[in-house]
Amino acid sequence: MVSVQTMARMIAVAIFCAALPLLVLPFAPAAAIDDPPVRIVALGDSLTTGLGLPREAAFPAHLQAALRARGAAVEIADAGVSGDTASGGLARVDWSVPEGTDAVILELGANDALRGVDPGVTRAALENTLRRLEERHIAVLLAGMRAPPNMGADYVRAFDAIFPELAAAHDVVFYPFFLDGVAADRTLNQPDGLHPTAAGVDVIVERILPAATELVARVKAKRGS
């Protein structure tokens, strides 16, 4: 016959064994907890910051949500300034892109084209911005822009060539035209014909998502190297 003391020890062992999964499981995802989110800054103009839209409908917030829905741990900061040119972005890149930033989505140039800024000036500003980010070992997604056709064939040719040439020279992730699928579509733009509606931002995010995913992958590959 089993004694009271022996029975008590058997019960205690059984309770301990049953509790083991509860003691072990919380530590299983430790690697995921230790992996910080990819910190991205969207450095751009009114197309980035979403002029005329609520913050949650603007490009940075919408892209962040889309990437998270795909399982990517990201944080995207809005560093868009309405009216900014490529030169304006260069002037503020050091303080708009804080320490700890992993990647930048560079969307500038639309205002240069609208104002007829010398393409050489735009190119130099964007190239210097890319160099500053390279020196800080920050990955970049360069979003291209195109000049309006009414600027003339020579201007359009010189301006449009800036982005693919810089992307090739600096080996960044490249998205050829930020407004692809949205430009000149009245149903996707606000009454000014220049700034996307919330539905327009949906299209932009859907189309740029593969490039943004590649940007995140580059950051993660660098962390693992």
Q: Which residues are catalytic?
A: 46, 192, 195
Other Cβ atoms within 10 Å of 22 Cβ, number: 8
For 80, the 3-state DSSP assignment is strand
Buried b (16+ CB within 10 A) or exposed e, 53-85: beeebbbbbbbbebbeeeebebbbbbbbbeebb
For 135, the 3-state DSSP assignment is helix
Length of the chain: 225
Give 142's strand partners. 106, 174
Encoded amino acid at 134, one letter: E
CA 164 to chain centre: 19
